[in-house]
Structure 1
Amino acid sequence: MRQVRRKPAIGVALGALPLVLATGCSFSFGGPGSVDADQVAQRSSEMLAEQIGQAPDEFTCPEDLPAEVGAEVRCELTHGGESLGVTVTTTSVDGDNVQWDVQVDETPAGDTAAEDDTAAEEGGAAQDDAAEETAAADNATAVASDGQVSATEVVEQSTAALQAAGRSPQNFACTSSHLRAEVGAEMSCNFFEDGVLHNVTVATTSVDGGTVTWDIRVDESQ
């Protein structure tokens, strides 16, 4: 099996944050263009344990993961008596080696009360409320290489843009290895400020030759 560099953990325990994302799960398959569901569940559980220091009690997937970039399957993990839905997405296929990301749902599976509350909040929220919850810093710019901007460059330039906007970001980190040089492409990041974790969406807004410009949208709702 190919060795894959592991990304840093986003949370310290399952459910500690609204989003738990494991990146870099990989498996060399020998079947007809898919990774066996049991292997997907096992490797995903191992990656979650490696990244957040705590393995779920149970991790199951009802179907195989297609060896096609962008393919998704829904799985479920159980921890401490609570069940959470999981989206597993194929991110790369290199020969017979498949790599995927694991994203855990924000709310427990079957938590209809939470879903109803969320729907009510969304239905009653005005546009100015959304504007208060999300702040956009000045655009950041970098030169792309091979159609993408490295996460290191995104972190450096985004940190500088936030500082220029009067903020004090610390430990700015992103969950993906790069930002695609395509308008509309996004990547999730986060940073600490005064001891508070802020989630960030970095979105490509323009590509001019090799120069990529992106917005930095900080979620202020925490």
Structure 2
Amino acid sequence: MKENLIMQLLLIDDDVELSQLIGEYLGQQDISVEPIHDGTQGLAKALLPGFDLILLDGMLPGIDGLELLRQLRRRSSVPVIMLTARGSQQDRISGLDLGADDYLAKPFAPDELLARIRAVLRRTNSNVIQKSEVLAAGALRIDPSQREAWLNEKPCGLTNLQFEIVEYLMRHSGRAVSRDELTSILHQREATPFERWLDVHISQLRKKIEGDGQVRIHTVRGIGYMFSPPSGPQQ
């Protein structure tokens, strides 16, 4: 979080009344909210620098939320929280798969929205003091200070949350990290048996950091996941 500074949020939602309520509530928390009510205009605005986080509705005129997110992720890693009336598990998975950092179904309590915003910003804020050494495992390297990852010297293109997952697993290399531990660290809440957000991100992460055919993130049945540098025959 940025101490003593007003955070700049972009809210892309066609519900004008809800946008006003969110703006008023977050404004009391020193968070400045700029509302946009159209997907096409929202994408253009989201690609501009200066926003700490984007709140994105799933159903929008012009370009819908998922398509907006898809296009945004091609050019920007700005944190995104999906706000949508679509509450099905598949819709949530689609948003996370496209690179959303969190997902909040309408209706929601204002204090929960604020907690989610703070949680995402704690994970992604580059002003947070981090260990600056580069972590390496064979052909994979990550730089926490720059929030960048490379495989065979080529950028991996990780989302913010994917970067947080691989950094945490690498810092605990060789130890099985439970799903509850990862969920608690990354989302500040307990995992539920029906919540697949972690599975989605692990699946996408594996595709990006195991492109050389080496397995780095292992599934530990009944527990969670373990990172180990590739060695010996492929597992």
Q: How does the TM-score come out when normalised to structure 2?
A: 0.31
Report the structure, 1 or 2, having the larger strand content: 1
